[in-house]
Each structure stands twice: as C-alpha cells, then as structure tokens.
Amino acid sequence: MTKTERLALVKECRVSGITAKAWCKAKGIQYRQYVAWATKLNREENQIQPQQWADVTLAKEESSTDEIRLSCGNGCNSVAQPPFVVLFM
C-alpha cells in the first residue's frame, strides 16, 4: 500500500464519525496497523517549521499619533500607546 493510499484511509477514518477501532473492523484493517499510520501522519503534520523573519513595511502618514499599531497576517492586531504598553485586540 502506498503512502498516498494510507493517508487517504486515515483521513477517511477521521471523518467517519465512528471510533478508529470500529472503522478498522468494518474495513478489515488491523487496528495496530492503522494506529502506526495515523501516528506517522501526525508526526509529519506536526513537524516544527523553522522560524523566519517577517517583511515589515513602514507606512508614512502625514498626521502623527502617539500610538503604534501592529497587524499580523494571522489576524492578530495590537495597539501600543505611551508608555507603550501593548494592548491585544
């Protein structure tokens, strides 16, 4: 069985709505073998990605304020005001 086939089976089991044991029994797959596939898949999915520097572009505005606004790509927004305490929104 190929890696792609094993991946498809693990995904099918996960969305089936029944326990992995019951799903394996219905499909004629040894539960221990399924657990090995799922464990390997979880490890591959959860590998830590190396940290990278983010590109930062400073926008020039005509008016000046005493606050700093940060917007992150993941939806995190924050505002810092003197004495520059960061408030998460």
Spatial CB neighbours of 23, under 8 Å, sequence gap ≥ 6: 12, 13, 16, 34
Q: What digits encode the pLDDT tens for the residues 22-43? A: 999 999 999 999 999 999 988 8
**Lookup: tokens for 48:** 């830590």
pTM of the model: 0.51
The burial class, CB within 10 Å (0-12 / 13-18 / 19+), for 13 is: buried
Q: What digits encode the pLDDT tens for the residues 29-80? A: 999 999 999 999 888 887 777 778 888 887 776 666 677 777 776 777 777 6
Residue 84 has pLDDT above 70, yes or no: no
